Structure 1
Amino acid sequence: MKKKSVGFLFLGPISHIYHSISIAFHLSNYPDFDVTLFVSSELNLKLVNTISKSYKYHQCEIEYLYPSILHKALRLFKKRAHPRVRNVLQNNKNKLINFDALVLTDRHFINGGRKKPFYFLTGHGAGDRARGFTDTMKKFDFIFVSGKEKWQRMAKLNYISEERGCIIGYPKFEIVSLKKKNGTLFKNNNPIVLYNPHFNKNETSWYLWGEQILNFFLNNKNYNLIFAPHLILFSKETEPIDTKYYHSKNIHIDINSHALVDMTYTIAADIYLGDVSSQVYEFVGYKKRPCIFLNPHHAEWQDNSSFRMWKMGDVIDTMDNFEQALLKSETTHPLFYHIQKELIENTFSTTEQSAGKRGADAIVAFFEKNRTDCRSALCDNSLAR
């Protein structure tokens, strides 16, 4: 019997790689599957090679995909970490449509053509934002979900069913558990605060409160600050942060390294400070600790499922309350401990098997149930993206 060919697409931000690559490594050890990891940037290639060292027995092939010549030329004048995903997909369509399945972390489909692979979605985070729940999900043949909370929300929207998805846990935790421990960032034992603003201008705290927050820590040396924003917050800016903050011994600034996405900072910090980034779940999932949420846009969050994470700590609507919230964060944390515990249990499913192995087993089971060569509803060109 011919082996099933499965391609894993790592064509976007490096942060996405952590959410599906362990599935690929486990799947590659099944004798009936050929697995290819596709990258389109040197940055992603480097990270894929680095992570692969922790899976010495994997059988994956790694292949570089290029954008069109025109797009490649235009990129010379733009600051982008990777080529546009849609351009890379279109330029390599004839290769990719011949795979039996493609595993995606986002929602970019191949444009045009009658033959289509099965599409699997892993997603790329554990957050609650409305943007993570859209009708595009109906176009996938199978969706991997980290826990029962997201499953229930997606099921209510008819995005998922027992035939079209399963809960596997959080593959990123598997990768992080294998990496070496990092050294200390500060030469003191003061509390470490992680400030992790999102990139979306309508939701981030950075543009309204960011400078005030940096100034607070600049003037309060009894705290250490890790400023580690979302990877793409400053992706189009060259020097977004004043050098005076870099020179402060109690402030560590990182706006573009791998450490932003490999949980280096969520593990190191004592207190989480942020807005709508899903990294707060990784922070609390690793260890339950105090959280402070910033609401400069005055979002009505209390009964909004897109702000479920804000139940895990104090929410401040004005910077006048910031210092007080920080001072009392340790003493008020017990009030939020059980809420954090409940939300984490509902967000991340854990079993004796790793998330990567559970995901690989699910792909194998999917093909056992779909032994014919006919493709899914995605064969309809009207659904192509």
Structure 2
Amino acid sequence: MSDTREIAFLFIGGAHQVYHLAPVAAALSRRLPDTCITCVYPDAETGAALARVRTALDAPALKLDHVPPPPVADWLARATRRHTARKGPMLMRLAPRLRRARAVITPERTSANLRWMGLSKTPMIHFRHGAGDRAPSSEARLKAFDLVVVAGRKDVERAVEVQHLDPAKVRDCGYVKLDFLTHTHPEVAPLFDNGRPVVVYNPHFDSAISSWPVARDVIERFRAQDRYNLVVAPHIRLSDDMTPEDMAEWQALAEPGRIIVDLRSPKLIDMTYLLAADVYLGDMSSQLYEFLARPRPVAFVNAHGAAWRGDPRYAGWRLGSVADSVEDVIGAVDRARSGHPAMIARQRAAVTEAFGLIDGAAERGAEIIAQTLYAKAA
């Protein structure tokens, strides 16, 4: 189907969102060869991830367009000490172009603000990145989109029952990131050479729910024992607002052969550590379910004294063991390992509910977009 207007995929939220949506853009570029399918991105990290997808999926027609944020974006980020403050000026820079687009497709919710930047009639489609249990306040922005595409039935039900979206405007296609990485990720080499089980510690970036405030104590608990290796691999956004001095201070806690501390590398977003680890230790990140795509022991740090039992936001915590204090972290890991056989069936069911059918997710996502924009003509 020929269309002179571009379909714009916006990647302004960070490199960690690329694998959740760029494979769909690649599939769409093959499905609609006469349409300009463009991935718009503001930074080198995101551009590198997009290039990896284009190459891995052999999608040379997929256009990658680097549009740097305006100078005011960096000033605003410094003034507020919030990396995400760059998004608003970036959207304002892009709005005139996007008003002419056939459609705008995005994996983050700040782009809902385009509605009051002149895109009142432009079709906008949101692909949710991640498939966790928490329900951030930003999900209220979902009503700005003409269509919301999620991974599995869990998110469909939440969008309809909690966010009160029209069921006709919510679709599921499977978990795109896992679909992509399952077929393209190289075999992961061992991270350590001592044969000990590897624990990957994956704190969330949101300080209100994250165990990061006690991360130093967690690291010291592992340093004081000799049965586990540790990889400290928080959500990549956690380091967004760190100074170089902050980064250096955390990385100094690494110990060759025993403890890895990684705050920024691509390994945080391409599942390298999740694939290589034997045990997951975290709090509220949806990367839990990525880890559980292959059932393994999981444990959690309850750093805020949350009354988590019966709370659907903490559903993942029922898939392993919970440490209610830092002193119990190693014990929780031990319990997760010893009790894992009883958790396998529950973990598999939870992954299916969260991710749906993984294989072919990117192609299904592209089909949903094509059907939505071109109806039967697609």
TM-score, normalising length: structure 1? 0.89
SS of corresponding position for 1:232 = helix
Counterpart position of 1:187: 193
C-alpha deviation, 1:122, in angstroms: 0.7
Q: Distance in 2 between matches of 1:149 and 1:354?
A: 19
Counterpart position of 1:259: 267
C-alpha deviation, 1:214, in angstroms: 0.6
Q: Does 1:153 align with 2:158?
A: yes
Task: Indicate the structure with greater helix content.
Answer: 2
AA in 1 matched with 2:331: Q
AA in 2 matched with 1:36: T
Q: Distance in 2 between matches of 1:132 and 1:346?
A: 22
TM-score, normalising length: structure 2? 0.90
Q: Does 1:24 align with 2:29?
A: no
Q: Distance in 2 between matches of 1:146 and 1:27?
A: 18
CA contact (8 A) 1:203 1:297 kept: yes
Going from structure 1 to structure 2, the CA distance change for 1:252 and 1:243 (only over 3 Å counts) comes to closer
Going from structure 1 to structure 2, the CA distance change for 1:114 and 1:261 (only over 3 Å counts) comes to closer
Gaps of 5+ in 2: none
CA contact (8 A) 2:180 2:362 kept: no
Deviations 1:160-206 (A, max 9, x none): 44421211001101221212223221012100001111111111112
Q: Distance in 2 between matches of 1:271 and 1:132?
A: 30
- After TM superposition, list the pairs within 5 Å mapping 1:1-385 onto structure 2: 2-3=2-3, 5-29=6-30, 30-31=32-33, 33-72=35-74, 84-107=86-109, 108=111, 109-110=113-114, 111-113=116-118, 116-131=121-136, 134-157=139-162, 159-177=164-182, 178-207=184-213, 209-237=214-242, 238-240=244-246, 241-242=249-250, 245-285=253-293, 287-350=294-357, 354-369=360-375
Q: Distance in 1 between matches of 2:327 and 2:73?
A: 48
Percent identical pairs in the alignment equals 28
AA in 1 matched with 2:206: N
Q: Distance in 1 between matches of 2:33 and 2:172?
A: 24
Q: Distance in 1 between matches of 2:330 and 2:119?
A: 59
Going from structure 1 to structure 2, the CA distance change for 1:137 and 1:77 (only over 3 Å counts) comes to closer
C-alpha deviation, 1:115, in angstroms: 5.1
Gaps of 5+ in 1: 372-385
SS of corresponding position for 1:8 = strand
CA contact (8 A) 2:299 2:332 kept: yes
Q: Distance in 2 between matches of 1:261 and 1:242?
A: 19
CA contact (8 A) 1:218 1:245 kept: no
Going from structure 1 to structure 2, the CA distance change for 1:251 and 1:135 (only over 3 Å counts) comes to same
Going from structure 1 to structure 2, the CA distance change for 1:158 and 1:224 (only over 3 Å counts) comes to closer
Going from structure 1 to structure 2, the CA distance change for 1:193 and 1:8 (only over 3 Å counts) comes to same
CA contact (8 A) 1:195 1:273 kept: yes
C-alpha deviation, 1:133, in angstroms: 6.7
CA contact (8 A) 2:76 2:85 kept: no
AA in 1 matched with 2:14: P
Going from structure 1 to structure 2, the CA distance change for 1:139 and 1:247 (only over 3 Å counts) comes to same
Q: Distance in 1 between matches of 2:337 and 2:278?
A: 9
Deviations 1:247-273 (A, max 9, x none): 342101100111101100111100000
Q: Distance in 1 between matches of 2:46 and 2:164?
A: 30
Counterpart position of 1:382: none
CA contact (8 A) 1:126 1:278 kept: yes
Q: Which moved more, 1:125-134 or 1:16-25?
A: 125-134
AA in 2 matched with 1:24: A
Deviations 1:333-378 (A, max 9, x none): 1121121111111111116x5111000000111123499xxxxxxx
Q: Which moved more, 1:272-281 or 1:76-85?
A: 76-85
